[in-house]
């Protein structure tokens, strides 16, 4: 009987640990889908739960959904109007402080083939580890 009680107590502790660990993550991540800027867009909002955390990179669907930047771009030889377009540069790391929130946009506003923005997973790479959010 004593062995059974110890087993149940151990199981209860192990079951509660993942829920507690999520509350102690250095960041909180919120995912919103298909905003008004484009069809099939994903918005990744990161809120810092600690001081001095650096967001080194974010990828959506393992890099298959490009990050967007605001501005104009050239597509099929024509300059587009102001809007959200694929960022052809590298991700710019950002340092965040406690309670600060930043939103990054990802999507396929040009309807290019081979780009998959139907959200399944976002990975946030930081100087304090990698955090993954999945649908």
Task: Give me the pLDDT at residue 13, please.
Answer: 44
Where is pLDDT greater, at 34 or 32?
Answer: 32
Looking at residue 33, which CATH number applies to its domain?
Answer: 2.60.40
Residue 82 lies in a domain: yes
Residue 7 lies in a domain: no
**Long-range contacts of 12-20, Cβ-Cβ distance < 8 Å, separation of 24 or more:** none
Task: Let me know: does 61 contact 40? Beta carbons within 8 Å.
Answer: no
The DSSP line for 23-59 is HT-SEEEEEEES-SSSTT-EEEEEEESSSSEEEEEEE
Residue 72 lies in a domain: yes
Residue 67 lies in a domain: yes
Average pLDDT value for the chain: 83
- Predicted confidence band of residue 47 (pLDDT cuts 50, 70, 90): very high
Residue 100 lies in a domain: yes
Give per-residue pLDDT as tens, 121-134. 999 999 999 999 99
Residue 19 lies in a domain: no
What distance in Å separates the CA atoms of residue 87 and residue 67, rounded to the nearest whole number?
6
Residue 4 lies in a domain: no
Domain hosting 75: range is: 26-134
Task: Give me the pLDDT at residue 16, please.
Answer: 41
Task: Give me the pLDDT at residue 3, please.
Answer: 54
Q: What is the mean pLDDT of residues 83-105?
A: 93
Number of structural domains the chain divides into:
1
Q: Where are the beta strands (DSSP E) in the chain?
A: 27-33, 42-48, 53-60, 68-71, 74-75, 78-79, 83-86, 94-96, 101-106, 121-126, 129-134
Angle formed at CA 59 by CA 54 and CA 63, multiple of 5 degrees:
145
Cα torsion angle, 124, 130, 131, 132, sign: positive
Tokens of 21: 């660990």
């Amino acid at each position: 009987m004593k062995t059974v009680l110890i087993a149940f107590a151990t199981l209860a502790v192990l079951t509660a640990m993942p829920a507690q660990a999520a509350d102690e993550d250095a960041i909180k991540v919120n995912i919103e889908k298909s905003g008004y800027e484009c069809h099939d867009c994903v918005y990744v909002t990161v809120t810092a739960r600690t001081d001095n955390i650096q967001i080194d990179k974010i990828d959506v669907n393992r890099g298959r959904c490009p990050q967007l930047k605001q501005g104009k771009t050239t597509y099929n030889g024509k300059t587009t109007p102001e809007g959200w377009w694929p960022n052809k540069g590298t991700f710019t790391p950002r340092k965040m402080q406690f309670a600060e929130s930043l939103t990054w946009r990802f999507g396929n506003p040009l309807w290019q083939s081979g780009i998959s923005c139907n959200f399944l997973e976002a990975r946030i790479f930081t100087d304090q580890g990698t955090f993954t959010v999945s649908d």
